Every structure is written in C-alpha cells, then in structure tokens.
Chain A
Amino acid sequence: MNALRVFWLSWVLNLRLLSQSLFFVLISVFQPVIFASIAFYMWRAGGREGTLLYVSIGAGLMGMWSATLFGSGGLIVWQRWQRTLELLVAAPPRFVVTMLPFTVATASLGLYSMVATLAWGRLLFDVPLHFEHPLMFAVAVAVTVLGLGVLGLVFASTFVFYRHANAFSNVLEYPVWLASGVLVPVSLLPAFVEPLSWVLAPTWGVRAMRDAAFGGDPLPELAACVALTLVYFGLAWVGAANFERLARKHATLSLT
C-alpha cells in the first residue's frame, strides 16, 4: 500500500513542480503548437489529401515525446544540481520505485501537448475534431502516456550515472518523431527504420490514436504498447539498480 501512496504523492508533487517551470510549459505547449502550424501549412501547400486531424494528433504526440525526453533526463540533471538526487537514492525504496512517479508525471504533462494541438488546430486551422471512438482515443492517450513515462524511466536510470547523458538524449527528439511515424509514415524512410519503430511506444500509441479517431481497431496496437511498457519497465528495473551502483562507485550522484 505504501508504494501506491508514494507513487501518488510523488506524481502530484512532480506535476506541480513541472507546471511551474516556464521552460517546461514552453516545451510541452508552445513548441508542439508551432510544429503543428508548420505541418498544417505544409499539408495545405503541398496539397496532401486527408483530414488535418491526422496532423493534430501527430503533433500532439510530438509534444508528448518532447515532454518525456526533456522531462525525464532534465529531471535527473536538475535534481542532481538541486542536490535532491542524493536524497532520493539514499531513501529506502528502490530507485525505480522512487523515480517512476516523476517520469510518469512528466509524460502526463504531454497531455497538455495533445490538448494544445487539438485546440489550436480547431481554432486556427478549422481542423474538425471528429473522433469515431472518442473514449478509445482517451484510453489510447492514457496508455501512451504510461508507455512514455516508463520509457522516460529507462532514460532517467541511465542519467543517474552518466552525467552528460542529456547532451546525447537531446538529439533523440527528431529521430524518434521520424522513426515512430507520427507524421511521416515509416514506409517512406529507409528500410532499417522499420524494426526500430516497433520498439518505440509512440509508434503504437499514434496508430492506436488514429484508429480510435478514424474508425479502425486500436486494440492490437494498445496491446503492443502495453507489452512494450512492460519491457521498458524490466529494462528500467535492471538498469536502475546497475546504474545506481555505478553512480555510487564513480561518485556521479552529485556535481562534485
């Protein structure tokens, strides 16, 4: 029972912390909206057929990924600087348990992105917000948030040890947008990308969302997303214990 309480409390705590960060709001609201606008104009000008809702959803997911990426990694970097990382590591619960609510919270803020791009599209580009299965869409978004949160946990686990990891992780924004096919179908990319797409939660998330929006069957994709989330969790579990130990060995829990 205690684990659930800890989860809830940390989740809320982190949501509050992040919502107060102007930078985070920039990443999760302003950036997706700009990218959505760019995509909308490109769609119109290029004469691409089909509804722009496709674009709104894709751009929303782009924002969710950005939130996850910068949130999870940045979280560790910030906590290390803030000297709270040490406190969390030295606390009794396992590091994954302590960190999970934080990364899920950052992924949750990705909801802002989805809402922002949908609203923006509707207000400024007349994007019709017609969902075939609105409830399933909400479920798909929630499942994706969880998947991203746990993927973020995998990142966070490595950041505990590698102090400069965020310089590398920052480069993963565009590649994951491409590889998970949020706007450009993976089939258009070089062949080696397809297998990569299968291990990314956003791939399945965006497909599930589209199915829910346009009338397909999102269940298989949701199942794939959940399965992937479990795999991520396993990775994080093993990784965190390992990296925490390495961090204690090489003294990278603090700045000095």
Chain B
Amino acid sequence: MARVFVVGGVISYRALFNWVRPLSYATSMLGIPVTQLLFFAYLGRFTGLRDDEFYVVGNAVQATAMGGVFAMTMTVGNERQFGTLGPLLASPANRAALFLGRSLPVVLNALFVAAVVFMAGLLLLDFSLPAGQIPALLLVVVVTASATTGLGLLLGAIGLRAREVIFAGNLVYFVMLLVCGVNVPLDVLPQWLEWVGRSLPLTHGLEAARRVVDGASLTDVGGLLWTEAAIGAAYAAAGFVLFRLLELEGRRHAVLDTY
C-alpha cells in the first residue's frame, strides 16, 4: 500500500507535469505567487491596512492552497481528459492509497512554493522571520497544505461528472482569496463571509501561521492546527464518499470516460 502511495504519486506528478519545462514551471508556479504577494503588499501599504508581514504570511500560506486545490482537481480533470481515469479507477489497488499518493508531491510542491514566497518577502519587503520559529512554521504549512488537498479531492470527485472541473478549482481559489483572511482580515468581513471562511481549509492554518511568525509556540496554536486538520479531513472524507457514489453510478451509466 505504501508503494502504491509513493509510486503512484510520483508517476502521476511526472505525467502531468512532463510537458512543462523547468523554466515554465518556475515562472507559473513561483512567479504568480510572488507577484501576487507584491501586488497585495503594495495595496496594503496604499490603503494603510496592516503591515508587510500580514501580506507575506497571508500570501505565502495561501500559495500552498493553490497547490492543494488545483493539483488535486487537475489530477482528476487531466486524467479524465487523457482518458486514464477509467483504467485508474478500474485498478484493484486501494483507491485511498492511490489518491493519498497524489497528495504527496502536491504537499512537497506547496512547501517549496511557500518557502520561495517567504524568501521574496524577506528580500523585497519589510518582513523578518525569527529563525527559531521556522520549524513550527514548517509544520503549520504542512498541515495547511494537506488540509487543502482534502478540498481538492472533493472538487476532483465533482469533476467526475462536471465537464469543466478546472473552472471549479479556479472559482474556489478566488473565493478563498477573499474569505480566508489572506489579504482581508477576518474581522473586516461581514459575518456570513467570515463563517464561509471558517468552514474552509486554510483559514485556521493561516491564523496559526500568523501567530507563529509573531512568536507563538506550537502549543499555543495547537487548537487552530487541529481545527485545520479536522476541516481538511472532513472535506477529504466527503470527497471519498462522493467518489465512491459517482464511480458506482458512473459504472452503471458508463459516463466516466466521456469528455
């Protein structure tokens, strides 16, 4: 099961990104989060809202969400487009392991991207990070990134039926940019939007990250991390259930391979 987990993940990642050259990867995966950070940081300076650190932490951690949500939905979307979804689901390997395997490279990638964005903040903006907090920050980012893959899995499951699943991924991305406290503090949002934000992954993990950067210890943010993990797990579970349901139904109606 472990082998399926790792090998399946690596192969799928390579298959998806094989057409992307390193330079293209660098510009898209890294360039976009970094330029996003700069945009919001300067906007924050202009509007007089909070400080550079607020935006650095916000956008760095949010960048992990991009990985989690997108990669998962893209995995399903692309597999469907390349016609490999049918054979994949027909495989006897434990599907849970299979899909967990797909989250592994996603999380690793997310860590890398978050690191690059933090670096950009350190170099280009008024931000500093006490070295002693880095391990804790790392853990927070890992938990947050993993939690967002759960949401991605749910979207991917919806992708079994919906034609333009990448569309849904983008939609969720923008919503999260607004309501998860990335560039707009949660207390500024109207109540109902705040609730939406709190029911999504990223929100609590981001809050934890902010406190850690401010000097909090892991025990201080433990509650937030558990909440984040629980939210992610809930979405993942919903995703699995939906997957099974749609897969069974798809088998009955033979719609899985249509595109």
**Is A–B contact present in the complex under a CB 8 A cutoff?**
yes
The reply to whether the CB of A88 lies closer than 8 angstroms to some CB of chain B is no
Please give, as numbers and ranges, the residues of chain B lying within 8 Å of A8 by CB-CB distance. Answer: none
Q: Are A26's CB and B35's CB within 8 A? A: no
Q: Are B178's CB and A42's CB within 8 A? A: no
Q: Are B188's CB and A183's CB within 8 A? A: no
Q: Which of B44-52, B103-111, B115-123, B150-158 contacts A (4 or more CB under 8 A)?
A: B44-52
Q: Which of A151-159, A173-181, A231-239 contacts B (4 or more CB under 8 A)?
A: A173-181
B97 to chain A, nearest CB (A): 32
Q: How far is the CA of A64 from the CA of B96 in the complex (A)?
A: 42
Residues 180-212 of A contacting B (Cβ, < 8 Å): 183-185, 188-189
The reply to whether the CB of A120 lies closer than 8 angstroms to some CB of chain B is no
**Residue in B25, B166, B178, B189 whose CB lies within 8 Å of A23:** B166
Q: Are A42's CB and B167's CB within 8 A? A: no
Q: Are B167's CB and A167's CB within 8 A? A: no
The reply to whether the CB of B86 lies closer than 8 angstroms to some CB of chain A is no
Q: A177 — nearest CB in chain B belongs to which residue?
A: B39
Q: Are B46's CB and A48's CB within 8 A? A: yes
What secondary structure prevails in chain A residues at the interface with B? helix
The reply to whether the CB of A39 lies closer than 8 angstroms to some CB of chain B is yes
Interface string of B14-54 (1 = CB under 8 A from A): 00000011011101100110011011001111111100000
The reply to whether the CB of B183 lies closer than 8 angstroms to some CB of chain A is yes
Q: Which of B126-134, B168-176, B196-204, B243-251 contacts A (4 or more CB under 8 A)?
A: B168-176
Interface string of A40-71 (1 = CB under 8 A from B): 01111111100000000000000000000000
**Residue in A34, A42, A173, A185 whose CB lies within 8 Å of B49:** A42
Q: Answer whether A174 and B174 are a contact pair too, CB < 8 Å, given A26-B167, A45-B185, A46-B44.
A: no
A175 to chain B, nearest CB (A): 5
A197 to chain B, nearest CB (A): 13
The reply to whether the CB of B213 lies closer than 8 angstroms to some CB of chain A is no
Q: Are B39's CB and A45's CB within 8 A? A: no
Please give, as numbers and ranges, the residues of chain B lying within 8 Å of A48 by CB-CB distance. Answer: 46-48
The reply to whether the CB of A170 lies closer than 8 angstroms to some CB of chain B is yes
A58 to chain B, nearest CB (A): 10
Q: Are B46's CB and A185's CB within 8 A? A: yes
Please give, as numbers and ranges, the residues of chain A lying within 8 Å of B166 by CB-CB distance. Answer: 23
Interface string of B46-66 (1 = CB under 8 A from A): 111100000000000000000
The reply to whether the CB of A254 lies closer than 8 angstroms to some CB of chain B is no
Q: Are B43's CB and A184's CB within 8 A? A: yes
Q: How far is the CA of A43 from the CA of B49 in the complex (A)?
A: 8
Q: Answer whether A171 and B43 are a contact pair too, CB < 8 Å, given A26-B171, A38-B178, A46-B49.
A: no
Q: Interface size class for chain B?
A: 35 or more
Q: Are A183's CB and B46's CB within 8 A? A: yes
Q: Are A171's CB and B42's CB within 8 A? A: no
Q: Are B42's CB and A189's CB within 8 A? A: yes
**Residue in A46, A167, A174 whose CB lies within 8 Å of B39:** A174
Q: Are A171's CB and B44's CB within 8 A? A: no
Q: Answer whether A26 and B177 are a contact pair too, CB < 8 Å, given A39-B43, A42-B43.
A: no
Q: Are B170's CB and A46's CB within 8 A? A: no
Q: How far is the CA of A236 from the CA of B170 in the complex (A)?
A: 31
**Residue in B31, B35, B184 whose CB lies within 8 Å of A38:** B184
The reply to whether the CB of A214 lies closer than 8 angstroms to some CB of chain B is no
The reply to whether the CB of B164 lies closer than 8 angstroms to some CB of chain A is yes
Q: Are B21's CB and A34's CB within 8 A? A: no
Q: Are B45's CB and A188's CB within 8 A? A: yes
Q: Are B178's CB and A171's CB within 8 A? A: no
Please give, as numbers and ranges, the residues of chain A lying within 8 Å of B177 by CB-CB distance. Answer: 34, 38
A226 to chain B, nearest CB (A): 28
Return 23 A-B CB contacts under 8 Å, by A number. Answer: A23-B164, A23-B166, A23-B167, A26-B171, A31-B174, A34-B178, A38-B184, A42-B43, A42-B49, A43-B47, A44-B188, A45-B49, A46-B44, A46-B47, A48-B46, A164-B21, A167-B27, A174-B36, A175-B35, A178-B39, A183-B43, A184-B46, A185-B46
Binding site for B on A (CB under 8 A): 22-23, 26, 30-31, 34, 37-39, 41-48, 164, 167-168, 170-171, 173-175, 177-178, 183-185, 188-189
Extra contacts besides A164-B20, A171-B31, A178-B42 (7): CB < 8 Å: A30-B174, A38-B178, A45-B184, A45-B185, A45-B188, A46-B44, A48-B48
